[in-house]
Structure 1
């Protein structure tokens, strides 16, 4: 009877259960096909037309990404780090998924045979459910990924811009600045010690047009830090003696009395904000932002990106249990990478600083945007647990593009404010400012001596003066600056990244 009714209505007879399931399955890759089969031409044409339009639109967008000078994955990462794009994408995915599932179910409704046995109906319903899952599962994963990124973006980065900074301009995110300076902090806290210490402090000064970067390393044991006149810290620790503790202790000192000592008690992290401004005051740079990573959480970040490859030339002992990082080209997991940048066994603070600079270089070179996107769940979780920063959300896409430029085009060099160029017990801050100014001015002018990339030594003809390894000049007595400073026979330190001399050195020359 149902077949006769279909014929009287001008519709074809309904197919068998097996064929109905095939037509329904065909509606997964080509929505609307079952409607056309049942001569529901208007509905089928509209559904199929919308679907094909969406596919063409996605193809055009993909072509635009590939043709873009910025780079496909960089653009995708940039969009993924903007709330409006994330919310729009999540809304689009949800809407398309609901419509798609509706079309699949309706395709079964209009094709299933009337009067089928109960077993056939149960089988059909089960198969339609499986077909729906082929669309619902990836859609749910995409929505979860979008929500994870959105949550991380809002929990890590500041929703509002610093009122002390100019309003964000997407056309000119750096407001005409030739360089942007970011303080990178590694905090060290543990159950067996009191408070938080910033044992790793490094300023990344990046050229916004070329990506060339100077890493200015500050030893944790710098003493006698000075404070801006009129500040609560300057009154608490007046000159000439100034701060009577090491620089890495300032964060905790402010954390204990933020209302009394912080420059801005209302900041999201008054201690980090104050440390940023104190370091800026001492080195003579305008530092716009800070980013602080917990050292133990750093391990999770490295694990999230699949480890980092490092060439270890000499054994690096670490820890109290006799662990050793053996020589060779190795891919370090989070635990080993943490100790590569943290160990001081048979070493010192300054050798550790050098390895930290090298580790930053290795991560920048090896981490691809595709790795970040495919590991976003682990990375987002680790980032949310361990990273704190005052970078506003509006600036994040610009930082992604700048980071891509640093990795692909820029050159990285390091200036360590450590002995012999700086006395950590009684630093000459005027001399420190001069060193930093000259390092950045020399990098901007590009007047550094050319180096051989393989050895890090000056190219032939670069200088008529005798020099030691890695471009280290020798004095009239034939001794290198390292030999004069240490009294040792070695011409230079054997640890990677350890700088000697007042000039910044390319990380290519220092890191194996």
Structure 2
């Protein structure tokens, strides 16, 4: 072996560099998995929504204006509730579903203050095809579509989206966020609603909250109730968007699942539409919005002796005109304390 061969034999083997690590690829892969998981979760939640045609498909409708308008309905639907749950919630045993709550929510196009208007269920309005009657009778006559058509005809505001929640869904959402704090000015007792509250600030669970927003056992009946409903809805939204719930997966995910299972929406509505509504409701809850009851001129009676609420037509026209045109609601038509 010559010298050159000896040198080659003792030469160190070539050094192979280890493969270069690419942390960017791992991060990208993790992000991709998270995005797919989130997309799958949203698809599941969207699929869980109950749907039913709720917007009119025939007849004259108000013109489509700027902004977005929601019709929010709380019904006394007992769907999915067994006898024990009905007894716990004090739902009674009336068949079918009727409206306990009717609200119109306007979300401005340019991001201004949203407006939430309570429409008393005893409002005396014209129901297409049925003459003058209470607003909640529209729901009994023709379900969500006739109710929406009646609201549009009475207000001149075109409804873009519809959301309805039944008795069990309302209680479940309240329980999912760990209850809602309210302050009761005087003791409230209503055996029909399984309600027995002492005066003072306290936290209500699902069954208590349901009784609180449904009872009419007060001096002003339905007018007191619509005020409590607006106040409670604002408190529920504020609680749901609080860090204690929003940043706690053990609270947030049950809330999302309970909400998706509780809502009935129009066939064209999706979970991302509800997210926009939730954002607007959070603004209202934080004081960055307007809440009111439709202005009223007094009370009356139907031909069969039923008590009804009459709107102040001039002020109501001004209020709903502002919503239809996406302009600021004049202070003189905002009704507080009702």
Normalising by the residue count of structure 2, what TM-score does the alignment of the two structures yield? 0.70
Q: Supply the distance in 2 between the matched residues of 1:433 and 1:446 (Cα, whole angstroms).
A: 11
Q: Supply the distance in 2 between the matched residues of 1:380 and 1:426 (Cα, whole angstroms).
A: 36
1:93-172 matched pairs, under 5 angstroms: 143=37, 147-156=40-49
User: Higher relative CO (CA 8 A, sep ≥ 6), structure 1 or 2?
Assistant: 2
Residue 432 and residue 287 in structure 1: after superposition, are their counterparts in 2 closer, same or farther (change >3 A)?
Answer: farther
**Is 1:297 matched up with 2:127?**
no
Task: Report what 1:411 is aligned to.
Answer: 289
1:282–1:429 contact (8 Å) kept in structure 2: no
SS of corresponding position for 2:333: coil
Q: Supply the distance in 2 between the matched residues of 1:157 and 1:320 (Cα, whole angstroms).
A: 28
The superposition leaves residues 402-459 of structure 1 with CA deviations (integer Å, 9 ceiling, x where unpaired) of: 44554557222202355628886484685474253367599944753xxxxxxxxxxx
Q: Supply the distance in 1 between the matched residues of 2:283 and 2:210 (Cα, whole angstroms).
A: 26
Q: Supply the distance in 2 between the matched residues of 1:330 and 1:253 (Cα, whole angstroms).
A: 39
**Is 1:276 matched up with 2:148?**
yes
Q: How many residues align?
A: 293
Task: Report what 2:214 is aligned to.
Answer: 342
Q: Alpha-carbon deviation of 1:336?
A: 1.5
Residue 376 and residue 428 in structure 1: after superposition, are their counterparts in 2 closer, same or farther (change >3 A)?
Answer: closer
Residue 187 and residue 322 in structure 1: after superposition, are their counterparts in 2 closer, same or farther (change >3 A)?
Answer: closer
Task: Report what 1:470 is aligned to.
Answer: none
Greater displacement, 411-420 / 345-354: 411-420
Q: Alpha-carbon deviation of 1:202?
A: 1.0
Normalising by the residue count of structure 1, what TM-score does the alignment of the two structures yield? 0.49
RMSD: 4.0
SS of corresponding position for 1:298: helix
Q: Supply the distance in 2 between the matched residues of 1:417 and 1:446 (Cα, whole angstroms).
A: 13
2:295–2:312 contact (8 Å) kept in structure 1: no
Q: Supply the distance in 1 between the matched residues of 2:309 and 2:283 (Cα, whole angstroms).
A: 38
1:216–1:436 contact (8 Å) kept in structure 2: no
* Structure 2, gaps ≥5 residues long: 1-12, 58-63, 79-91, 302-306
1:415–1:503 contact (8 Å) kept in structure 2: no
Task: Report what 1:363 is aligned to.
Answer: 236
Q: Supply the distance in 2 between the matched residues of 1:91 and 1:280 (Cα, whole angstroms).
A: 40
Task: Report what 2:224 is aligned to.
Answer: 351
1:214–1:439 contact (8 Å) kept in structure 2: no
Q: Supply the distance in 2 between the matched residues of 1:389 and 1:276 (Cα, whole angstroms).
A: 12
Q: Alpha-carbon deviation of 1:280?
A: 0.9
Task: Report what 2:260 is aligned to.
Answer: 384
The superposition leaves residues 166-212 of structure 1 with CA deviations (integer Å, 9 ceiling, x where unpaired) of: xxxxxxxxxx9543221110001347112110121111123233442
* Structure 1, gaps ≥5 residues long: 1-9, 11-38, 59-87, 93-142, 165-175, 228-233, 255-270, 449-501
Larger radius of gyration: 1
The structure with the largest helix share of the pair is 1
The superposition leaves residues 300-327 of structure 1 with CA deviations (integer Å, 9 ceiling, x where unpaired) of: 0111122111111111212338742112
